[in-house]
Each structure stands twice: as C-alpha cells, then as structure tokens.
Structure 1
C-alpha cells in the first residue's frame, strides 16, 4: 500500500471538510457518521483519524469553512453590485428563495448548523463568530442581528413547511420584513 503525499493528504482533508459541511447542513450532524463523510469522498474511515482528532473537530472545521465561504459570497455580492444596499437586497432575495429553502446542503451555515450548535453549548464559538460576521456584513449593530435573525428564522420555518402554501408565504413576508429592517 502506498503512502499519500502531503499535497494529496491536504487535498483529501479539504475534500472531507467540504463534504462534511454539505452533509451536516443537509442532514444534521447527528445523522451523519464519519463513515458517511468518508464514503462520500471515496476514502476509508481509517484515514479520518489521521486527519482529525474527532468528529467534533470536523464539525467545527466544517462550520468554519461554511461561514468563510458564505463571507466570500457576501464579498462577491458587494463586488457585483453598485453599492452595499443593492448587494444586501440581492442577499435577501436569494437567501429567502425556494432554491435556498430546498437546498440546505449549499445554503447558509447559520441556518444549516443552528440546531446542532444549539445542542452543543461547549462548541458555540465557531458558530457565534460566523453569525457575528454575517450580521456585521448585513448592517452594523442590532440592525444586522435583527435582519439575520429574520432571514435564518424564516428559512428554517419555510423548510419546515415546504410543500405547503405557508412556506411560500413565509419567504415572501420575511423578504419584506428584512428589507424594511435594513432600509
């Protein structure tokens, strides 16, 4: 059996973290095993413990990666729009869309990891930092926190009621409310 190079090991680690981030947001941390993550990238479970101390360490890294990716997307929105207000409006529209509701694996980590980190108080630092950064991008202070809370809460409610007319009503009403908060 041949050993993998350091570059291959780093590439494998990156693939594992990205896959874990998607799977954890889609199915929830308790519903995804280390074996599930490793199988999704075509690696053996034995290789996991050469890269990560524990599943908890992977959860933290996957959440941090998801929040970093989200902040990259937000920065790109600023680059793609005439001003921050236009970028923020675009975020609200895309965040509270049927596509975001129906694809939790690629959607916002604040919504995707909320339940998992709520049940793990000793591990909330990564999540809290990501939420703080996202809210700060939206608007300073309480306005950003209120707007993000509206977005995340509405997305979770829309997912829980998906398939019913109420889900669309939640998305529509929250788009209006979040826009008013940030005007």
Structure 2
C-alpha cells in the first residue's frame, strides 16, 4: 500500500498570517515615528521591535517610504478615532470642548508615542516622500472635518474656517507644551488654550 505524504498546510504561511504580521509592523512603525520622528525610524529597528528579521521586510513593503506612508496613515487614523470616540461619549453640545480637553491634557503631552501624529510629526512632513505626505494630509483633513461637525455653528458660513483655526491652535499648543522644559509653562499653555475654547453661557 502506498501512503501519500501530504505537506501540512501549517508549513506554509497563510494569507491571514501575513496580514497579521503586516499589521504588527505597521502598528510598531506608527508608534516609532511618533516617538522618534520619520528620520529617527529605521527599518531594522522596527522589524526588531516587531519581533521579526530585517530580511522579511520586503515581503510586506516595496520600500521604507511605503511603510512610512502606512504608518502615517495608521497614526493619523488613531488620532481621529480617539477624538471621535470622546465626542460620541458626551452630549452633542459638550463634544467639542470634551475633545479639546482630552487633546490639551497633561496626559497627551506625555503620551507622544500614542498621541497626535500631527503634533509629533508636522515639522518633518515637508521633507517626506509624496506618499507619506498624502497619507498624513488625508488624516489631517479628517480631523478638521470632525472638529467642524462638533461646532455649534456646523453647516453655517464660516464653520469650516473656524475648524481650521481650532485644529491649528490645538496642534500648535500641544507642540509648544511638549517643547518647553518648564512644566509650569507647559501647563499654562494648555490652560490658556482651553480657556479660549471654553463654552460661554448665554
């Protein structure tokens, strides 16, 4: 009797396993770029942190820039999702200020690795590859639209322009609060910005 020996399917990487590995690399990279910047993020370090060999990189990405574009997209998506979740958890009239309070918080100042990609990476964007800038820009537009939708005057003339100013103030304040080495000044920057956006009683 002849026995046919079939190679176990477990010996071959499944598409699902490749997707999981790919996702792990992108997740690690999205944290790494916020922690160390685009220029401070090497393929070797990311693969090592993901628990993978450097040689396996090109099975998932055509280039370092392709990986950075996905990482930028992931980081931006996480920022938008976090803000949207905060807005959804409170009454509509409180949504905008709730988002701002979370964004302009001490926890966010200290949480660079999982925080806003715009604040962590904005100054580096002009020097990045087009696909990286494109991914980041898409997520910045989403954040602006999200802020606009929470505004009391959403749908009226000028609402989108006010959202542009609000997001610019949010990101700029966070950048400065992280930049200074004076904790009191950092806190004062956050408090002053929040005061400007505090709801006014009619």
| Residue 88 (structure 1) aligned with residue 93 (structure 2) | no
CA contact (8 A) 1:24 1:32 kept: yes
Q: Distance in 1 between matches of 2:135 and 2:21?
A: 22
Query: Equivalences for 1:1-183 in 2 at 5 Å?
Result: 3-83=12-92, 85-120=93-128, 122-123=130-131, 124-139=133-148, 140-179=159-198
**Aligned-pair CA distance for 1:162:** 4.0
- The 8 Å contact of residues 87 and 99 in structure 2, kept in 1 or not, is answered as no
TM-score (norm 1): 0.89
Question: Cα RMSD between the aligned structures?
Answer: 1.7
Contact map agreement 2:34 2:117 (CA 8 A) in 1: yes
1:120 CA drift (Å)? 2.4
Larger Rg: 2
Post-superposition offset of 1:125: 1.7
- In 2, Cα distance between the equivalents of 1:157 and 1:63? 21
In structure 1, what is the equivalent of residue 3 of structure 2? Answer: none
The unaligned stretches of length 5 or more in structure 1 are none
Say if 1:150 and 1:174, in contact at 8 Å, map to a contact too. yes
Whether the aligned pair in 2 keeps the contact of 1:94 and 1:100 (CA below 8 Å) is yes
After superposition, what is the alpha-carbon deviation per residue over 1:18-71, rounded to whole angstroms, capped at 9, x for unaligned? 110011001101111101111111011111111001111111111111222222
SS in 2 for 1:31: coil
- Please say which of residues 113-122 and 98-107 is displaced more in the overlay: 113-122
> What is the CA-CA distance between 1:10 and the residue it aligns to?
0.5
Where structure 2 has 5 or more consecutive residues not aligned to the other structure, the ranges are 1-10, 149-158
**Is the alpha carbon distance of 1:82 and 1:156 closer, same or farther for their aligned partners in structure 2, counting shifts above 3 Å?**
same
Q: Aligned pair count?
A: 178
Q: Which has the higher helix share?
A: 1
Superposed CA deviations along residues 100-130 of structure 1, whole A, max 9, x for unmatched, are 1111110011112212213227342222211
Report if aligned partners of 1:26, 1:103 keep a CA contact under 8 Å in 2: no
Separation (CA, whole Å) in 1 of partners of 2:33 and 2:190: 23
